[in-house]
Amino acid sequence: MNPSATLVSLSASAQELVDVSRELEGMLPADIVRWAVASFGAADEVPPYKSFLVTSSFQDATLSHVAQSAAPGIEVVLLDTGYLFAETHWYAENLGKTFGINVHIDKRNEPHLAPNGWQVDTDACCAARKVVPLEDALENKKVWITGVRREDSEARKSTPIVSRDIMRGVIKVNPLAGMSDSDIALYNELYELPVHPLREHGYTSIGCWPCTRPTKPGEDPRAGRWSGSGKTECGLHIS
Ligand code: SF4
């Protein structure tokens, strides 16, 4: 790990987090996760690293592979909205088996929710099926590790590597924030990571099946999410 990355504590000030984010720019994503464990993990932190929540949409394997490389045995959670593609379930489970990644498919709220909310109010549906389950999952966690990248969208272009999610009371770490699409492709090729099976059918960003369509050549990669509605984010990464 880059020895110049300053370790900070859970009570770090906003300025300390800004400063260390700058230091972490350009570091390997696995080293950023190692830094996070060294900074924020409990002294006796052991797998599956109970202070940490790693969430992935499993539209690709990058974040889960990075997390597993840096902190073997760390749990990588797929929040199951009840509307994920069958291919996403298969892909996440297959990654777990093939690469020894500790994948957990979390269905915590699904049985209690009325079906088909997406047909009448996608914001309410995302709130109930994504945001509330995430916030439940973050209970008793100190650090949230995500796969958000600046190249994902205009709204994400200022994403820092580390910040405090004040609303949720956790430190948020985005080890892939600075990676471009070509960096991701190179990483996945280097480690021979499998591709989500819907990619070959034109899906460039993959969420729930009712709200995701394939994109056309030249379209923004996230144009297939909530297409035509003006909605661009589910609310997980807005705070
Ligand atoms: S993406 Fe669509 S189906 Fe999934 S939680 Fe949001 S509104 Fe509901």
pTM across the whole model: 0.95
Which of the two residues, 155 and 15, has the higher pLDDT score?
15
Residues in Cβ contact with 78 at an 8 Å cutoff, skipping those fewer than 6 apart: 55, 56, 57, 58, 84, 88, 92, 103, 104, 105, 106
Residue among 57, 78, 81, 237 to mutate when testing ligand 1 (max atoms within 8 A of CB): 81
CA distance 167 to 97: 35
- Answer yes or no: is pLDDT of 191 > 90: yes
Query: 221 burial class (0-12, 13-18, 19+ CB within 10 angstroms)?
Result: middle
**Percent of the residues in the chain that have a pLDDT greater than 70, as a whole number:** 97
Chain segment 37-61, per-residue pLDDT in tens: 999 998 888 998 999 999 999 999 9
The finding on whether 126 has its CB within 6 A of some atom of ligand 1 is yes
* Count of all residues that appear for the chain in the document: 239
Residue among 119, 123, 234 to mutate when testing ligand 1 (max atoms within 8 A of CB): 234
List beta partners, residue 53. Answer: 144
DSSP string, 157-170: TT--SEEEETTTTE
- Answer yes or no: is pLDDT of 238 > 80: no
Neighbouring CB atoms inside 10 A of 120's CB total 9
Catalytic residue among 125, 208, 211, 234: 234
Name the fold adopted by 14-202.
Rossmann fold (3.40.50)
Query: What residue spans of 61-212 are helical by DSSP H?
Result: 62-70, 86-99, 122-126, 132-137, 181-190
Residue 83 alpha carbon, nearest atom of ligand 1: 3
Ligand 1 atom 7 nearest Cα: 122
The finding on whether 205 has its CB within 6 A of some atom of ligand 1 is no
Ligand 1 atom 2 nearest Cα: 211
Kindly indicate the confidence band of residue 235, based on its pLDDT and cuts at 50, 70 and 90.
Answer: confident
- Answer yes or no: is pLDDT of 3 > 80: no
Active site residue 208: no
Chain segment 89-106, per-residue pLDDT in tens: 999 999 999 999 999 999
Domain ranges of the chain: 14-202
Residues in Cβ contact with 36 at an 8 Å cutoff, skipping those fewer than 6 apart: 52, 143, 145, 162, 171, 173, 175
Distance, CA of 140 to chain centre: 18
Residue 225 alpha carbon, nearest atom of ligand 1: 1
Residues in Cβ contact with 60 at an 8 Å cutoff, skipping those fewer than 6 apart: 184, 188, 193, 195, 196
